[in-house]
Amino acid sequence: MSESKPPLVNEDQSPRAAAAAVLALHFGRMRANEAGTLAGSDPEALHDLRVATRRLRAAFRVFRDVFDENALAAANDDARWVAQTLGTVRDLDVFIEWLRAHAPTAPVLQRAFVQELIARSDAERVERRAGALTALKSERYHGFVQQFKAFLSALDEPVPSVPPNDEVAVVAELMRVAGVDEATARSWWSSRPQPPSLRSFAEAAIRRQHKRLRKFGRKFGPDDLESLHAVRIGCKRLRYACEFFRDLFTDRLTLPIKQMVELQDALGAMRDAHLQAERVLVDFRRHFAEVPRRMALLRVLRALRQRERQEYATFRAAWREFLKLGIKHVNR
């Protein structure tokens, strides 16, 4: 019988302690996938490393009120740089995989041209991967790792607080400096703002991302790529916020997370198809005079455009369901 996985965060933690736990988890996952990415032995290692850096950046945003934002600026920039460097390789991986699945459906006389497209894309992938590996071996990446270790160590240090016994000293100081009576001074002490509980911090973070995502409403169409990209980012941020705090709300965040995954998947596949079609369109225009090659590329283009439309339809259906859902799932 397998043991249940320990919770990532719990009610007794402060937001700062929860931030340390979340950041440490995804930093550890990033480091765990470095060797596989460098060796090229595990095709998913590069993708998992990239995802870990994206989750780090999401955690920076969710917990931005916990620590000095300036302390995160360099780490956030470096995490973005890593994700973007690896992203170009991942995009080509996805395109090549789709082309290999599409090639057998092409007419026999056109398959050679599809195979040429695969070969050129694979050569570009090799070049891009070499650049990504150079980045992972660079001084900048090494510095990022070392600085982030130091940042995590600082988060683990206890935060100084005012001991309860200091109430006497604070009350006396208020009476002396402000000239108030003891009852007024003690009333201020008892009513002073308290640090938020992790639950209330989590509720506010999730609702904030939920509100930002819902503002898009129904105001976009399949060609409004800028808005759809913004929706995809919003889905990612809400999903990650829910995942960070899932353990505080048992299974009440299961449905929102599931919806965000569906929306992200559809928008991601739509984006892939659109970018892939743009790549093929360049070749199509370049070789327009070569009838057999042009027909092969036109067939690929049509398949990609059809996939883009299908994924948009899938997204719209999932988006309508999302708009029906409130964020009551995090209520106590």
Per the CB < 8 A criterion, the answer to whether 245 and 253 are in contact is yes
pLDDT tens, position by position, 5-60? 678 888 888 898 999 999 999 999 999 999 999 988 777 899 999 999 999 999 99
Label residue 180 by pLDDT band (50, 70, 90). confident
Instruction: Tell me, yes or no, whether 116 lies in a domain.
Output: yes
pLDDT at 264 over 60: yes
> How many Cβ atoms sit within 10 Å of the Cβ of residue 133?
17
Domain interval for residue 113: 9-157
pLDDT tens, position by position, 274-301? 999 999 999 888 887 888 888 999 999 9
Instruction: Tell me, yes or no, whether 168 lies in a domain.
Output: no
pLDDT at 121 over 90: yes
Shared domain for 79 and 136, answered yes or no, is yes
Closest CA to 327 of 243, 246, 210, 249: 210
pTM of the complete model beyond 0.85? no
Total domains present in the chain: 2
Shared domain for 27 and 144, answered yes or no, is yes
Which of 134, 157, 180 is the last residue in one of the domains? 157
pLDDT at 3 over 60: no
pLDDT at 223 over 90: no
Distance between CA atoms of residues 245 and 202, nearest Å: 6
Which of 157, 188, 218 is the last residue in one of the domains? 157
Closest CA to 75 of 154, 148, 155, 153: 148
Per the CB < 8 A criterion, the answer to whether 35 and 16 are in contact is no
Which of 126, 157, 188 is the last residue in one of the domains? 157
pLDDT at 166 over 90: no
Shared domain for 217 and 153, answered yes or no, is no
Average pLDDT score, the chain:
86
Tokens of 189: 């002490």
Distance between CA atoms of residues 241 and 197, nearest Å: 16
Instruction: Tell me, yes or no, whether 310 lies in a domain.
Output: yes
